[in-house]
């Protein structure tokens, strides 16, 4: 039986002082990153490092943030709704003492925006205190939850993370590492887990390695993060990514490299390279910006079009646009500019403003595009509404032709592994032909990168099917059991 810890410093306070970003962004139709984790073992400033690490991972979740530290005697934790800089300040960060920490930023699907789900989740179990933070989604969490509830378990949250905490607490093993292995052997899905006790930090990656999870070092301290860019910000260095099915344990004996299961088909999320991850991150030692540039080059080889300039939809398509320009010799220009300061708005926009909504976030640069044939590179098309608005922005600014090139295959299927996607009926590529999509977004021409082109561009020579990448949202082939009747599954964090 797990109870939320109610003692110790830095209890979370329930300050709902803003509504956050929960749910789909009605103004900008993009897929949502879903959660980032950061961990530290063996550093006197574990909380401060976590704070900066979370800043670097802020793009993966803006709904809530939390840090839990451990010293020899106690856990200290604080969680709140909002951005990292809004949740933590001089009144709470210094209370988070200890040399180890786990930390989390969360994006939630609509309706789940509440502090109870903010992580790290902290529990008491028979062997002591336990804190858990995760990124991903368990496809069998609902079934396990039902079974546990029938057996008397009471859940405090709607998060998959709590399911794993219950499984750990109910394990027949007293040793925490054995209990974690036991729990993870029962769940199916995509996950990067960080588990903290007073004397151990455990990191584990799902058997297919679906979510990114990197290990780094800072002096003698060990760091873990959803993306390696979080190591740079604290002056750490990237060592390697966790292997599928791997379980790493840090305690007073140092690092123990272990496994909780045999590695299965590797299937790193291809969308991390295409869109989610920051360009300065390396995943499996492959730099994300460089991979995107190669996607742009490949796109140019597969679907050249004569034009006056190439522009990318900022920020995630800039790298691919540079690659397209390099390959073709067509100049790269800043035809579209992102307004970086829209952030949260306090009012719901009226329908009229919503119609124009994309202008709050993007502007076409008239002096650059006027009278020009433009190649517009974007990373994906989800519902198609944003693409139409951006093409129209360019046309209103005087572009004579707009040729759209997408640096991924058509996004036709929902994700079951922790990415918040609309249901199939709302995915334009699942409902229309390429020619119909071209007409719907008002483009002069439209081309999507082939799946082969995508995998070659990322460039990992795994020698396994699909290059060792998950491409389920493109080809409807998922590496685990999924319950497709649910159609779309958001983040289970
Ligand atoms: S289905 Fe798509 S978004 Fe989901 S893990 Fe696989 S590649 Fe990533």
Q: How confident is the model at residue 481, as a pLDDT?
A: 87
CA 13–ligand 1 middle distance (angstroms): 35
DSSP state for residue 94 in the 8-state scheme: G
Q: What is the DSSP string of 452-479?
A: HHHHHHH-----SGGGGEE-HHHHS--S
Task: Let me know if 491 is a catalytic residue.
Answer: no
Which domains, and CATH codes, for the chain? 3-13+272-475 (3.40.50.2020), 35-264 (3.60.20.10)
To test ligand 1's pocket by mutation, which of 136, 473, 491 has the most ligand atoms within 8 angstroms of CB?
473
Minimal CA–CA distance to 95: which of 195, 12, 5?
Answer: 12
Query: Residue 74, SS3?
Result: coil
To test ligand 1's pocket by mutation, which of 207, 211, 418, 471 has the most ligand atoms within 8 angstroms of CB?
471
Q: How confident is the model at residue 341, as a pLDDT?
A: 64
Measured from the Cα of 272, ligand 1's closest atom is 8
CB 377 within 8 A of CB 312: yes
Instruction: Identify the residues whose C-beta falls under 6 Å from ligand 1.
Output: 210, 269-271, 415, 417, 419, 470-473
Tokens 């933070």 sit at which residue? Answer: 133
Residue nearest atom 5 in ligand 1 by C-alpha distance: 269
Beta-carbon neighbour count of residue 46 at 10 Å?
Answer: 28
Burial class, 297, CB count within 10 angstroms (exposed 0-12 / middle 13-18 / buried 19+): buried
Alpha helices in 342-476 (DSSP H): 351-355, 358-361, 366-369, 385-396, 428-431, 434-440, 451-458, 472-475
CA 472–ligand 1 middle distance (angstroms): 6
CA 377–ligand 1 middle distance (angstroms): 21
Measured from the Cα of 411, ligand 1's closest atom is 2
How far is the C-alpha of 335 from the C-alpha of 353, rounded, in Å?
A: 23
CB 246 within 8 A of CB 204: yes
Query: Residue 207, SS3?
Result: coil
Q: How confident is the model at residue 344, as a pLDDT?
A: 47
**Paired strand residues for 79:** 66
CA 271–ligand 1 middle distance (angstroms): 6
Q: How confident is the model at residue 12, as a pLDDT?
A: 26
Measured from the Cα of 210, ligand 1's closest atom is 5
How far is the C-alpha of 227 from the C-alpha of 214, rounded, in Å?
A: 6
How far is the C-alpha of 286 from the C-alpha of 284, rounded, in Å?
A: 5
Measured from the Cα of 267, ligand 1's closest atom is 6
CB 52 within 8 A of CB 234: yes
Q: How far is CA 153 from the centre of its chain?
A: 30
Dig out the tokens for 222 from the structure: 């060990």
User: How do residues 323-380 score in pLDDT, each as one tens digit?
Assistant: 999 999 999 999 999 887 655 444 445 555 555 556 667 899 999 999 999 999 999 9
Beta-carbon neighbour count of residue 144 at 10 Å?
Answer: 20
Q: How confident is the model at residue 246, as a pLDDT?
A: 97
**Omega into 315 within 30° of 0, i.e. cis?**
yes
How far is the C-alpha of 315 from the C-alpha of 336, rounded, in Å?
A: 10
Burial 60-94 (b: 16+ CB within 10 A, else e): bbbbbbbbbbbeeebbbbbbbbbbbebbbeeebbe
Minimal CA–CA distance to 480: which of 261, 274, 288?
Answer: 261
To test ligand 1's pocket by mutation, which of 210, 408, 414, 455 has the most ligand atoms within 8 angstroms of CB?
210
CB 179 within 8 A of CB 171: yes
Counting Cα atoms < 13 Å in the Cβ hemisphere of 462 gives 20
Q: Which residues of the chain have pLDDT under 70?
A: 1-30, 32-33, 108-113, 341-360, 484-493
Q: How confident is the model at residue 7, as a pLDDT?
A: 30
- Please tell me the pTM assigned to this model: 0.90
Minimal CA–CA distance to 49: which of 93, 81, 83, 11?
Answer: 93
Residues with Cβ within 8 Å of residue 86, at least 6 apart in sequence:
17, 18, 80
CA 473–ligand 1 middle distance (angstroms): 5
Q: Indicate the annotated binding residues.
A: 269, 316, 378-379, 415, 470, 473
How far is the C-alpha of 493 from the C-alpha of 475, rounded, in Å?
A: 25
């Amino acid at each position: 039986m797990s109870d939320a810890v109610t003692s110790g410093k830095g209890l979370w306070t329930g300050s709902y002082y803003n509504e956050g970003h929960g749910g789909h962004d009605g103004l900008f139709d993009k897929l949502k990153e879903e959660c980032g984790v950061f961990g530290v073992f063996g550093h006197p400033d574990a909380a401060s490092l976590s704070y900066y690490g979370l800043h670097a991972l802020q793009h993966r979740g803006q709904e809530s943030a939390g840090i839990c530290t451990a010293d020899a005697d106690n856990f200290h934790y604080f969680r709140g709704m909002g951005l990292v800089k809004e949740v933590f300040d001089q009144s709470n960060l210094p209370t988070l003492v200890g040399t180890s920490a786990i930390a989390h930023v969360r994006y939630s699907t609509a309706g789940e925006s509440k502090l109870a789900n903010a992580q790290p989740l902290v529990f008491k179990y028979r062997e002591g205190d336990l804190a858990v933070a995760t990124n991903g989604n368990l496809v069998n969490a609902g079934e396990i939850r039902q079974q546990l509830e029938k057996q008397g378990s009471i859940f405090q949250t709607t998060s998959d993370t709590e399911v794993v905490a219950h499984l750990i607490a109910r394990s027949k093993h007293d040793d925490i590492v054995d209990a974690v292995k036991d729990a993870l052997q029962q769940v199916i899905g995509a996950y990067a887990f960080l588990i903290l006790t007073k004397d151990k930090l455990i990191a584990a990656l799902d058997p297919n390695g679906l979510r990114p999870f990197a290990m780094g070092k800072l002096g003698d301290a060990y760091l873990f993060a959803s993306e390696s860019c979080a190591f740079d910000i604290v002056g750490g260095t990237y060592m390697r990514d966790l292997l599928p099915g791997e379980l790493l344990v840090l305690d007073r004996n140092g690092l123990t490299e272990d496994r909780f299961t045999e590695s299965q088909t590797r299937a790193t999320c291809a969308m991390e390279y295409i869109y989610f991850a920051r360009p300065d991150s390396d995943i499996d030692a492959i730099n994300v910006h460089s991979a995107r540039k190669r996607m742009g080059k490949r796109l140019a080889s597969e679907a050249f079009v004569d034009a006056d300039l190439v522009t990318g939809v900022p920020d995630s398509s800039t790298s691919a646009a540079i690659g397209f320009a390099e390959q073709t010799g067509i100049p790269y220009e800043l035809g579209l500019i992102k307004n970086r300061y829209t952030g949260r708005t306090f009012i719901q926009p009226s329908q009229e403003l919503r119609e124009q909504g994309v202008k709050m976030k993007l502007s076409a640069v008239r002096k650059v595009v006027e009278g020009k044939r433009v190649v517009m590179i974007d990373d994906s098309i989800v519902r198609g509404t944003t693409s139409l608005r951006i093409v129209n922005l360019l046309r209103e600014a005087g572009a004579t032709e707009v040729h759209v090139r997408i640096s991924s295959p058509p996004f036709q299927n929902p994700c079951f592994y922790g990415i918040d996607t609309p249901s199939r009926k709302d995915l334009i590529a699942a409902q229309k032909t390429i020619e119909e999509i071209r007409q719907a977004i008002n483009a002069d021409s439209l081309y999507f990168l082939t799946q082969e082109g995508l995998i070659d561009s990322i460039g990992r020579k795994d020698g396994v099917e699909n290059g060792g990448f998950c491409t389920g949202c493109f080809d409807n082939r998922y590496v685990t059991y999924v319950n497709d009747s649910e159609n779309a599954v958001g983040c289970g964090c």
